[in-house]
């Protein structure tokens, strides 16, 4: 079973890169299932129904969220209609679910969304929450378990790897929008600290650079905007799982604008 995971899709430039490249990549890499993070997909903050349907139409099978999951209030009823999840460790009263279960190539697959502590909104302890959930999935004999760890701190993501690498298939970091160079297969678990954004690569975390620079110079806040036009990047991790849910192969795919793809193989223990 071969799975693709796209990190934070940021605004229209990110959606356009998915449109331009994903269907071809699904064919070239024989992908059975594609996951993407939606929380910045609609002008950088949240997700609208229009953009949700658009992204699913480009070849994404389901989507995970993060701290901006609820920024567009129209998303609240969408959790009952579309294959969307939000962080598992949000309060139980929050709309939506933190786990998505499906069948891929005859295997039971669970995709989980988890949010870290550092600089994030109020959430329950991600480490105790995930242990509880993994135990429930194991009782259902689900072996193919994929986690989107949406966190600012690299230490939280790395700690999660060492805590769960024998029990889950993949831990893919999102949120910082900056791809890290540590794709690896550890104990049969595919791991990268951050997949990196799909969207504008010539600004600041996918946004126009003016407001972030002003904020750093003056301390005055303001609204971050996604540029209408920019130099763009597409970033995706592709990994292969065996029947026991163990990762056998993983690679990072990067495409700058419409240039040929760049592929980096995962380091294996």
pLDDT at site 269: 77
CB atoms within 10 A of CB 102: 14
Rounded distance between C-alpha atoms, residue 159 and residue 161, angstroms: 5
Structure tokens at 90: 């949000």
Token pair 């929450």 in the structure block, residue = 129
The count of structural domains within the chain is 1
Residue of 21, 29, 43, 68 with catalytic role:
68
Per-residue pLDDT of the chain (269 residues; tens, 9 = 90+): 999 999 999 999 999 999 999 999 999 999 999 999 999 999 999 999 999 999 999 999 999 999 999 999 999 999 999 999 999 999 989 999 999 999 999 999 999 999 999 988 889 999 999 999 999 999 999 999 999 999 999 999 999 999 999 999 999 999 999 999 999 999 999 999 999 999 999 999 999 999 999 999 999 888 899 998 999 999 999 999 999 999 999 999 999 999 999 999 999 97
Domain limits for position 219? 2-268
HSE (CB half, 13 Å, CA atoms) of 236?
Answer: 27
- What is residue 55's DSSP assignment? H
pLDDT at site 180: 98
As a dihedral over the C-alpha atoms of residue 182, residue 157, residue 179, residue 255, rounded to 10 degrees, the angle is 80
pLDDT at site 3: 98
Rounded distance between C-alpha atoms, residue 121 and residue 123, angstroms: 6
- Contact at 8 Å (CB) between 90 and 117? no
pLDDT at site 223: 87
pLDDT at site 9: 98
Structure tokens at 157: 């993501």
DSSP of 203-260? SBTTB-SHHHHHHHHH---------SS--EEEEEEEEEE-TTS-EEEEEEEEEETTSP
Total-model pTM: 0.96
Q: Tell me the CATH number at 261.
A: 3.60.21.10
Rounded distance between C-alpha atoms, residue 159 and residue 230, angstroms: 35
The β-bridge relationship of strands 189-192 and 170-174 is parallel
Asked about 162 being catalytic, the answer comes back as: no
From 82, 106, 171, select the one nearest 134 (Cα to Cα).
171
pLDDT at site 228: 86
Angle between helices 11-28 and 49-57 (to 10 degrees): 20
């Amino acid at each position: 079973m071969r799975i693709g995971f796209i990190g934070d899709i940021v605004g229209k430039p990110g959606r356009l890169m998915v449109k331009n490249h994903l269907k071809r990549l699904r064919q070239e890499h024989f992908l059975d299932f594609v996951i993407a993070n939606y929380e910045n997909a609609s002008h950088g903050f949240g997700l609208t129904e229009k953009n949700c349907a658009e992204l699913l139409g480009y070849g994404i099978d389901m989507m995970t969220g993060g701290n901006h999951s609820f920024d567009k209030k129209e998303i609240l009823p969408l959790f009952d209609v579309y294959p969307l999840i939000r962080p598992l460790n949000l309060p139980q009263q929050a709309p939506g679910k933190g786990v998505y279960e499906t069948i891929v190539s005859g295997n039971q697959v669970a995709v989980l969304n988890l949010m870290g502590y550092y600089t994030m909104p109020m959430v329950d302890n991600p480490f105790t929450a995930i242990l509880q959930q993994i135990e429930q999935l194991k009782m259902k004999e689900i072996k193919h378990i994929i986690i989107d760890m949406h966190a600012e701190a690299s230490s939280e993501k790395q700690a999660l790897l060492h805590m769960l690498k024998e029990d889950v298939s993949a831990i893919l970091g999102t949120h910082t929008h900056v791809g890290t160079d540590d794709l690896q297969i550890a104990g049969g678990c595919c791991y990268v600290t951050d997949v990196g954004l799909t969207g504008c690569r010539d600004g600041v975390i996918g946004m126009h650079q003016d407001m972030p620079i002003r904020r750093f110079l003056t301390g005055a806040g303001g609204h971050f905007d996604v540029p209408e036009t920019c130099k763009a990047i597409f970033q995706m991790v592709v990994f292969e799982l065996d029947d026991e849910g163990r990762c056998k192969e993983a690679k990072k795919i990067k495409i700058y604008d419409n240039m040929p793809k760049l592929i980096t193989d995962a380091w294996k223990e």
